[in-house]
Amino acid sequence: MESDGQLELYDRVAARLKDAHARVRTLQVPESVRVALTRKLLVITAATKHDLADAARRLDRLMADIDEGRLPPGQGGQSADGSP
């Protein structure tokens, strides 16, 4: 059944979102970067209610960005590493 596939995808995305939130909490980044990443995760979480497959893709992209060090800039015009 297609609904079983959707349920499995929902379970996988929910587990990955939980892991992503835990990972963001442990990142050694300025608080403003952590807040920006948390907001992105909350947007993705909300998107799961409307388009689960798109939310999964967005989560994949966000986690790839984090893996590769592409983080949102912190407030005050500084990058995530603190340089101007």
In a domain, 65, yes or no: yes
Total number of domains constituting the chain: 1
pLDDT given at position 33: 96
58 close to 11: Cβ distance less than 8 angstroms: no
Domain span at residue 63 reads 2-71
73 SS3 class: coil
User: Would you state the pLDDT for residue 83?
Assistant: 44
Residue 81 lies in a domain: no
77 in any annotated domain? no
40 phi/psi in degrees, rounded to 5? -60, -40
Query: Which residues lie closer than 8 Å to 54 by C-beta, 6 or more apart?
Result: 47
| C-beta atoms surrounding 70 within 10 Å | 11
Q: Mean pLDDT in each 10-residue stretch from start to end of the chain (84 residues)?
A: 79 96 96 96 96 96 96 63 45
pLDDT of 2 reads 61
pTM for the full model?
A: 0.80
Residue 35 lies in a domain: yes
Question: pLDDT at position 75, please?
Answer: 60
Q: Is residue 82 part of a domain?
A: no
- Structural domain includes residue 79: no
Predicted local distance difference test score (pLDDT) of residue 3: 76
**Is residue 8 included in any domain, yes or no?**
yes
